[in-house]
Amino acid sequence: MPATQEDVARLAGVSRKTVSNVVNGFPHISKDVATRVGAAILELGYTPNHAARSLRTGRTGTIQLVVPELEVSYFAELAQWVVAAAEERGLSVLIRQTRGDRERERLALEGASGEATDGTILSPVSSDLAAIVSRKSQAPVVLVGEVAGGGMLPHIGIDNEAAAYAATQHLIRSGRRRVGFIGAQRGQMSHMARMRRDGYERALRDADLVVDERLVRYTDGYHRREGAAALRDLAATDLDGAFCATDLLALGAIRAARDLGIDVPVDLAVVGIDGLDEGEYSVPRLSTVAPDKNRIATRAVERLLEAIDTQAEGGTPRDGSEEVVGFELVQRESSS
Residues 267-313: pLDDT tens digits? 999 999 999 999 999 999 999 999 999 999 999 999 999 999 888 77
Domain residue spans in the chain? 5-48, 60-157+293-325, 160-290
- The closest of 101, 108, 191, 99 to 146, measured between CA atoms, is 191
User: Under a CB-based contact definition with an 8 Å cutoff, are residues 175 and 154 in contact?
Assistant: no
* DSSP bridge partners of 287: 271
User: Comparing 58-72, 235-249, 289-303, which segment has the lowest mean pLDDT?
Assistant: 58-72
User: Residues 117-171: pLDDT tens digits?
Assistant: 999 999 998 888 888 888 888 889 999 987 776 788 999 999 999 999 999 999 9
Average pLDDT on 63-92 reads 94
Question: Hey, what CATH topology would domain 60-157+293-325 get?
Answer: Rossmann fold (3.40.50)
22 contacts: CB under 8 Å, gap ≥ 6 = 29, 33, 34, 37, 38
Q: How confident is the model at residue 50 (pLDDT cuts 50, 70, 90)?
A: very low
Average pLDDT on 227-249 reads 96
Predicted TM-score (pTM) of the model is 0.81
Work out the mean pLDDT of the chain and round it to a whole number.
Answer: 89
Specify the CATH architecture of the domain 5-48: Orthogonal Bundle (1.10)
Q: Please check whether the two domains, 60-157+293-325 and 160-290, share a CATH topology.
A: yes
CATH class of 160-290: alpha beta
To the nearest whole percent, how much of the chain has pLDDT over 90? 61
Per DSSP (E only), the strands in 185-297 are 216-218, 241-244, 269-273, 287-291
pLDDT at 56: 45
DSSP state, residue 285: P
Q: Is the pLDDT of residue 25 over 70?
A: no
